[in-house]
Amino acid sequence: MSRRSIVAGNWKMNGSPDSIKQLMDALLEHNLADLKCDIIVCPPALFVERVLGVAGNRVAVGAQNVNENDKGAFTGEISAQMLKSIGCKYAIVGHSERRQLFAETSEQVALKASALLELGLTPILCVGETLEQREGGETLSVVKSQIDAVVNQCGIKAFERIVIAYEPVWAIGTGKTASPQQAQEVHSAIRMDLAKQDKSIAEGVSILYGGSVKADNAAELFSEADIDGGLIGGASLIAEDFYQICRAAG
Give residues in contact with ligand 13P (CB under 6 A): 10, 95, 167, 172-173, 210-213, 231-235
177 CB-near residues (< 8 Å, 6+ apart)? 171, 211, 212, 213, 214, 217, 221
Catalytic residue among 68, 104, 129, 167: 167
Distance CA 184, CA 159 (A): 19
Closest C-alpha to 229, from 52, 20, 35, 83: 35
Using the minimum distance from each CB to ligand 13P, give the nearer residue, 47 or 201: 47
* Minimum separation from the CB atom of position 237 to ligand 13P (A): 9
Side chain identity at residue 22, one-letter code = Q
CB 153 within 8 A of CB 107: yes
> Which residues, listed in sequence order, are joined to residue 216 by a DSSP beta bridge?
none
* Minimum separation from the CB atom of position 165 to ligand 13P (A): 7
Distance CA 50, CA 43 (A): 9
Give catalytic status of residue 77 as yes or no.
no
Using the minimum distance from each CB to ligand 13P, give the nearer residue, 123 or 233: 233
* Minimum separation from the CB atom of position 171 to ligand 13P (A): 6
Catalytic residue among 95, 97, 129, 187: 95
Angle at 47 (CA atoms; ends 75, 176), nearest 5 degrees: 95
Cα 106 to the center of its chain, rounded Å:
16
* Minimum separation from the CB atom of position 33 to ligand 13P (A): 25
Using the minimum distance from each CB to ligand 13P, give the nearer residue, 149 or 213: 213
CB 246 within 8 A of CB 59: no
Using the minimum distance from each CB to ligand 13P, give the nearer residue, 94 or 201: 94
* Minimum separation from the CB atom of position 50 to ligand 13P (A): 21
Give catalytic status of residue 220 as yes or no.
no
* Minimum separation from the CB atom of position 208 to ligand 13P (A): 9
Question: At residue 223, what are phi and psi to the nearest 5 degrees?
Answer: -80, -10
Distance CA 24, CA 53 (A): 11
Using the minimum distance from each CB to ligand 13P, give the nearer residue, 95 or 187: 95
142 CB-near residues (< 8 Å, 6+ apart)? 127, 128, 129, 133
Using the minimum distance from each CB to ligand 13P, give the nearer residue, 9 or 201: 9
Residues serving a catalytic function are: 95, 167
